[in-house]
A and B are shown apart, each in its own frame.
Chain A
């Protein structure tokens, strides 16, 4: 009945119901898998609105999906229902280079936008490591970050307006230039629980005049993170400050031959993009801080090719850990930057206590840690250890004044740990927003909110 009505409205080509098709949409990059009852591939905002109306009539939940690279089960259809996959809505609708903005469909792959803007001397700044596959819609829904968010900010700082379909299938628009509440700001990062993004107006930036990339090697990850804290404390904000520890560097080099030193306990990747006039001064300042904090070597990438290789290695790091263990669990936490050494020490202690191998590759400049816990999912004991260590890391970072997700989101995975950070009252205020946009909880149910939080509790 449900599928039949969707086929009638959108055509058979846009609706998938075969079990082998549904299986593909049962999971994202998080391990939990749950089957949808139907998958819809809309071609337009109108298709989305029509599909949402039909889902409503049939009492089916609606889960939007970009590329499925999310790491917290955000795109998993937790209560079944309809998955709306944006794979066919992947066009750039307008590239306004003069005013440095673009209007894009949600299924556009992140990197494709920067590629398309480059000939005009522009780029799209938010660059998740998954940018070759993840979509702008998914990025908006998760407020994605990336290595370059240190100086450019995260996705929300680059979204100017949205076209959306609401819980009832009605199209609405928001813009940061409209008078009234900043709905754009509130909708970015809402993980598909408030409305479905059907187009986004985003800001493009002028390509920097000059870019330099340096690699510093350290004895251990504590020295590297101490260096990052010192760079920030000195009021120097490069465009990117990324750390990889020994375990990660070894697999990255084995997979990519990126050019990182193999004899170090940790490496720090530094990028500064800006005006040629400032480059030497910056380099001197950062190199000095690195050497004061125990850098054992310092090297500048000499060419675009060398820079690209270093970045390709960094962005491919998580995937390269396949060489170490059949599975990895990537944690995502954020702490004040002066607390980086303490947070890393807590990560190390927790991994040791549970006899797990941990690799660290992270957006150090933002205080955003990504411990990768290696395991084999066929071994129940290891799975349990990973879950316990993951939770200990969350608690340790909260105790250090940090938070339980810096960029990957809460989704399905972390909803029950939200109360580590927020009180019942804090969550009830969020639930009021949910109540306004999705009173029947049809949009991505079972996400973000711990089971049982509703705004009814405070009324």
Chain B
């Protein structure tokens, strides 16, 4: 009988302890799986032969909140929700916008380079990181950047650690520049019967007062509150001053009306919370009978992307659901079948077909046992050899999440 050895779990409570642990691990050559809130566990290959799970969850201190400078420094294990609450007390925020904010950690969100729906207007998480502290594979603690908002003192090493999936070092803490929180937020939701949604959404992208985010959600009925999953529906977030929101509301209503949308509901109370909950859909699981892909295009081809992938899904007898990020032009698709076996039989052919059209399609969620045999990251980037060389120099013994990231990094 095969006995699966579950790796032990350690959770250092401070940077020095983490460094000491890494030093020992690197001397012994113990392979580590780095874990934050484990919310994006289904991105990338499972770490092969992990000896220990290294959790950052006990690293959750606020190191410095210089609210008068619009900067904050926090440890990697702080959850996004805790960070949001901290900043909200001073009417500030950082647009990290990752799913499952009550569990997702700052470090995990940065390590995954998660791309949220407000980035078309506000930029990516990497654009807000002004400094970081990282434990390298041999346990050395190194600093990058600082607590100032403009800094060209040496290479911007934080850029390399962000989005590296823990394969170059373990993020210990990150410094952010924050933004003043817009005075008000308003969320619009509307049923969007399939035949009319394209026209409508094109208009949304061209409004004078741009929404901060706009998602078209089809399905995900249990993941997103209040959705019965039959029609598509749109969720549009406006943020700004009261005057701007009034103007944005008029423009948006007119645009939706022109697009044939009969009714729009407005949520003023808790608009941001509702929106945050919608993001949970990106990683919502359906046992072992689903997988969620993310594909990247441009706002103007979003409709054809949905049509094409839905067509492919039906050809392969898989049920599609979608979260289309209208303003950024990326779409998450969850494909499922009625049971795990049927799913496993169909998904491999679908995976090939999807990548034939969308070479960069990535898998972001799903617990099907066939997941590791699929194309998890899409085609290799042209500079993969440079990336491999970086991995070799930063983690020569291959103890940090080996194999998890693209190209076996």
Contacts and interface: CB of A to CB of B under 8 A. Distances in A.
A229 B405 CA distance: 43
B375 to A, nearest CB: 11
Interface stretch (B55-63, B331-339, B389-397): B389-397
Contact of B144 (A177, A235, A335, A426): A426
A368 B151 CA distance: 9
B148 A98 contact: no
Nearest to A232: B70
Contacts of B382: 172-174, 178
A213 interface: no
Contacts of A12: none
A196 B203 CA distance: 41
Contacts of A232: 68-70
Contacts of B52: none
A156 B393 CA distance: 25
Contact of A425 (B142, B148, B162, B381): B142
B151 A433 contact: no
Contacts of A409: 152
B156 A186 contact: yes
A422 B143 contact: yes
Interface string A145-188: 10001000110110000000010000011111111111101101
A99 B299 CA distance: 8
A436 B388 CA distance: 10
Interface residues on B, range: 35 or more
A432 B394 contact: yes
A182 B142 contact: no
Interface string B169-189: 000000000011100000000
A277 B241 contact: yes
A186 B296 CA distance: 22
Most chain A Cβ neighbours within 10 Å, of B71, B152, B168: B152
A157 B383 contact: no
Interface stretch (A250-258, A297-305, A382-390, A399-407): A399-407
A366 B409 CA distance: 37
Given A178-B383, A179-B360, A458-B140, A433 B157 contact: yes
A455 B343 CA distance: 49
Given A183-B387, A186-B159, A433-B155, A277 B247 contact: yes
A433 B390 contact: yes
Contacts, number: 210
B89 interface: no
A401 B147 contact: yes
A229 B68 CA distance: 8
Given A173-B383, A177-B296, A180-B387, A403 B123 contact: no
A435 B209 CA distance: 47
Contacts of A366: 148-150
A292 interface: no
A263 interface: no
B243 interface: yes
B39 interface: no
A448 B154 contact: yes
A436 B160 contact: no
B143 A182 contact: no
B393 A455 contact: yes
A402 B155 contact: no
A302 B380 CA distance: 54
A404 B153 contact: yes
Interface in B185-223: 208-209
A116 interface: no
Contact of A181 (B70, B181, B387): B387
Contact of A180 (B155, B240, B409): B409
A235 B69 contact: no
B123 A337 contact: no
A189 interface: yes
B307 interface: no
Contact of A429 (B136, B152, B162, B243): B136
A212 B102 CA distance: 41
B298 to A, nearest CB: 6
A282 to B, nearest CB: 9
B68 A338 contact: yes
Contact of B393 (A176, A425, A432): A432
A394 to B, nearest CB: 10
A149 B123 CA distance: 13
Contact of B243 (A281, A336, A422, A433): A281
A278 interface: yes
A156 B130 CA distance: 12
B152 A407 contact: yes
A363 interface: yes
Contacts of B360: 177-179
Contacts of B68: 229, 232-233, 337-338
Contact of B179 (A156, A174, A237, A281): A237
B138 to A, nearest CB: 8
B92 interface: yes
Contacts of B164: 181-182
A430 interface: yes
B160 A277 contact: no
A443 B184 CA distance: 50
A315 interface: no
Interface in B352-399: 360, 362, 377-378, 380-384, 386-387, 389-390, 393-394
Given A181-B164, A209-B208, A235-B91, A145 B150 contact: yes
Given A172-B386, A186-B156, A181 B163 contact: yes
Given A178-B383, A425-B141, A436-B386, A336 B147 contact: yes
Given A235-B90, A334-B150, A429-B394, 12 more contacts: A157-B127, A172-B386, A178-B383, A179-B377, A181-B163, A334-B151, A337-B69, A337-B149, A367-B150, A410-B152, A421-B153, A426-B143
29 contacts: A99-B298, A142-B152, A156-B159, A175-B381, A179-B381, A179-B406, A180-B409, A181-B160, A186-B155, A188-B156, A189-B155, A233-B69, A275-B244, A275-B247, A277-B244, A334-B150, A337-B69, A363-B150, A367-B150, A401-B147, A404-B153, A407-B150, A422-B143, A425-B142, A426-B142, A430-B154, A432-B390, A437-B386, A458-B140
The 8 closest A-B pairs by CB, nearest first: A185-B159, A235-B180, A178-B381, A233-B68, A277-B243, A406-B150, A334-B148, A180-B381
